[in-house]
Amino acid sequence: MPPAPLAVRGLRKRYDDVVAVDGLDLEIAPGECFGLLGPNGAGKTTTIEICEGLNEPDEGEVTVLGLNWKDHERELRQRLGVQLQETQLSDKLTVLETVRLFRSFYRTGNDIGDVIARVQLDEKANARVGKLSGGQKQRLALAIAIVSNPDLLFLDEPTTGLDPQSRRHLWDLINDIKATGRTTVLTTHYMDEAEVLCDRVAIVDHGKVIALGTPRQLIMSLGAEHVVEFACPDGAPALPVDALRALTGVTDARTVNGGYELKVAELHRAVPALLAMLAERGLEMAHLTTHSATLEDVFVALTGRHLRDE
C-alpha cells in the first residue's frame, strides 16, 4: 500500500502569545481533495505551511508522501505543488514568462502551453501579469502550482477576495484538476467552497480539528439535511409542536418568533405531510422557506459562532 500522501500527528505551533496550532492530527488518502475549513485565525495557514515545509512546528510529526522535511527537502520540493496566500507575482513579466520561470525549477513537468490552456489563460499568455484581473492572477497562481505535475497539491485560500463569478470559474478548474486523480489539500473559510470541492473536510477551530468527514456526513450529523421555516397568519390557533415532530420526514420541530422551524431529513415527504396537516385543520400559511443544511450550520452547531464574523 502506498504511504498516505500526508499524515500529521500531534502538531503544535505557538507564536509569541498565541497558540496557532494546538495538537492537530490529519491523515489524507491518495487521490482525495481534502479541505481545512475554519474561520480566519483558526490555524489553517500555519498548518498548511508546516506541511509545505515553509514553517517549523514546535511539536508533532509531518509525513509527506512517506518522507519528512528534515531529510528529504530536495525531493519533496520537486514533488509538491504549492499556492500560497497573498503572493504577488512580478507585474512586469508576462503570463508565459512567469510559467516558464517556475517550470525551470523542476526536473520534470507539464508542457507550459498545456498548463496555460488548462487554466484558460491562453488568450492572456503574452499579457503582463500587472494587467490581469484578480481572478486571472489567481488562475496564474494555480498554473504555476501545477506546472511540475505535482504528486500533491496545496492550495491556501484559492478564491479569497474574488467575485462570485471568478470563484465559480476557479472551482471548475480545480474540479478538473481533481478529476485527474491528484491529491489536493486546500484551506478555505468559505463553506460553499468546501462543499463544492472537497471529498473530505476537517473543520478547524482554535488550532484543533473539531469535526472530520465528508461534507455530507458532517451535515448529516446535524440529524437533518434541510431546514423548513413557516408561519401561519396572525390569530390562527397554535399548532402542537409534538404533532409537527411526528410528521413524516421531520426529525425535530420548535417554535421561533411566532413561526415554526422544522429540521427535515426528507424534504419531499415532509412538505406534503405538513400541507396535508394544515389543510385538515383549515389553516393557511403566511410564508414558507426551506434551505439545505450547510457546513455553516455544522460550524454554528459546534461552536455557536459563524465562520465569517463580519
User: With binding defined as CB under 8 A, does residue 5 bind other proteins?
Assistant: no
Characterize the bridge pairing of strands 59-64 and 6-15. Answer: antiparallel
**Of 288, 250, 289, 284, which is closest to residue 268 (Cα–Cα)?**
250
User: With binding defined as CB under 8 A, does residue 126 bind other proteins?
Assistant: no
Point out which residues pair with 83 in neighbouring strands: 155
User: With binding defined as CB under 8 A, does residue 103 bind other proteins?
Assistant: yes
DSSP string covering 54-77: SS--SEEEEEETTB-HHHHHHHHH
Please give the Cα distance from 79 to 239 (Å, whole number): 62
The minimum distance between CB 154 and other proteins, in angstroms, equals 9
User: With binding defined as CB under 8 A, does residue 82 bind other proteins?
Assistant: yes
- Give the H or E element holding residue 177: helix 164-179
- Burial (CB < 10 A; 0-12, 13-18, 19+), residue 183, is buried
Q: Are 35 and 187 in contact (CB under 8 A)?
A: yes
Q: Which of 93, 241, 273, 302 binds other proteins (CB under 8 A)?
A: 93
User: With binding defined as CB under 8 A, does residue 40 bind other proteins?
Assistant: no
| DSSP E strands, 120-180 | 152-156
Query: Candidates 38-46, 105-113, 173-181, 246-254 — which segment interacts with other proteins by CB under 8 A?
Result: 105-113
Q: Which of 102, 190, 230, 299 binds other proteins (CB under 8 A)?
A: 102
User: With binding defined as CB under 8 A, does residue 134 bind other proteins?
Assistant: no
User: With binding defined as CB under 8 A, does residue 77 bind other proteins?
Assistant: yes
147 to 176: interface string for other proteins, x by CB under 8 A: -x----------------------------
Q: Which of 16, 17, 71, 86 binds other proteins (CB under 8 A)?
A: 86
User: With binding defined as CB under 8 A, does residue 100 bind other proteins?
Assistant: yes
Query: Candidates 16-24, 88-96, 184-192, 269-277 — which segment interacts with other proteins by CB under 8 A?
Result: 88-96
Our CB check for other proteins shows the closer of 101 and 127 to be: 101
User: With binding defined as CB under 8 A, does residue 16 bind other proteins?
Assistant: no
**Of 191, 128, 117, 180, which is closest to residue 150 (Cα–Cα)?**
180
Q: Are 144 and 98 in contact (CB under 8 A)?
A: yes
**Of 134, 136, 138, 120, which is closest to residue 186 (Cα–Cα)?**
138
Q: What residues contact 227, with CB distance under 8 A and at least 6 apart?
A: 261, 262, 263, 264, 290, 291, 292, 293, 297
Please give the Cα distance from 232 to 45 (Å, whole number): 47
Q: Which of 84, 277, 278, 300 binds other proteins (CB under 8 A)?
A: 84
User: With binding defined as CB under 8 A, does residue 97 bind other proteins?
Assistant: yes
User: With binding defined as CB under 8 A, does residue 87 bind other proteins?
Assistant: yes
Query: Candidates 15-23, 74-82, 197-205, 259-267 — which segment interacts with other proteins by CB under 8 A?
Result: 74-82
Our CB check for other proteins shows the closer of 70 and 268 to be: 70
List contacts with other proteins (CB under 8 A): 52-54, 74, 77-78, 80, 82, 84, 86-90, 92-93, 97, 100-109, 148
